[in-house]
Structure 1
């Protein structure tokens, strides 16, 4: 069994109004904790991925704020208190100071976070 609090999970990315912490949970899944300031837009950091969108699926819970998710099919807004599934092909933007946690396949999440980190280092 594995258990971790947000504060125990190591920071894997910080900057541009966002903090990301992750912890591998076993079974090929990782928990991701994200804190995002109002106005944070991951779109620019996703440039270069297929369709310039995150291709990793996420199952999670928005604990604070509102997130606008852009996909090839349009936009949808999520609010604190909602459970969500974000399938491959999305880009999040914080409409308010927001926090959420999700579970994602470790291999896909690691690839996405590596890309986002590399993009941030180029700026």
Structure 2
């Protein structure tokens, strides 16, 4: 997915999805997760935050990830990336693909409503 706010460079490494993401604007992902179980991402992610800051919401708590930190997002989350955030992320391909089908559908719907 690419927009004015997000540039993603992606690769498939066996059963893993690898993404290098750059966020030029604050990026609210909550509306894009509608339709997933509990409207939350069910794919685990491991990553490293190169620049910026990310907030990860879970049902019962929030976590903040700052530049220079590694992270693990367990299933059942929604991220928010601040403008200027860059990250490298690794995700299991099957779960990532299922999640992105819903996110891309919601993204396309949001674009047609503009």
TM above 0.5: yes
Displacement of 1:57 in angstroms is 0.3
| Alignment correspondent of 2:109 | 122
Structure 1, unpaired ranges of 5+: 1-12
| Alignment correspondent of 2:80 | 93
Displacement of 1:21 in angstroms is 2.6
Runs of 4+ in 1 over 4 A off after TM superposition: none
Contact residue 23 and residue 82 of structure 2 kept, 8 A: no
* Structure-1-length-normalised TM-score: 0.83
Matches of 1:86 and 1:16, distance apart in 2:
25
Cα distance change, pair 119–16 in 1 and its aligned pair in 2 (3 A): farther
| 1:40-119 → structure 2 map (5 Å cutoff) | 40-119=27-106
CA offsets per residue over residues 50-73 of structure 1, 9 Å max, x none?
111111000110001000111111
Matches of 2:4 and 2:29, distance apart in 1:
9
Contact residue 37 and residue 94 of structure 1 kept, 8 A: no
Contact residue 26 and residue 81 of structure 2 kept, 8 A: yes
Contact residue 67 and residue 96 of structure 1 kept, 8 A: no
| Alignment correspondent of 2:7 | 19
Aligned length: 110
Displacement of 1:16 in angstroms is 5.7
Greater share of residues in helix: 2
Contact residue 23 and residue 84 of structure 2 kept, 8 A: yes
Matches of 2:24 and 2:37, distance apart in 1:
26
Structure 2, unpaired ranges of 5+: none
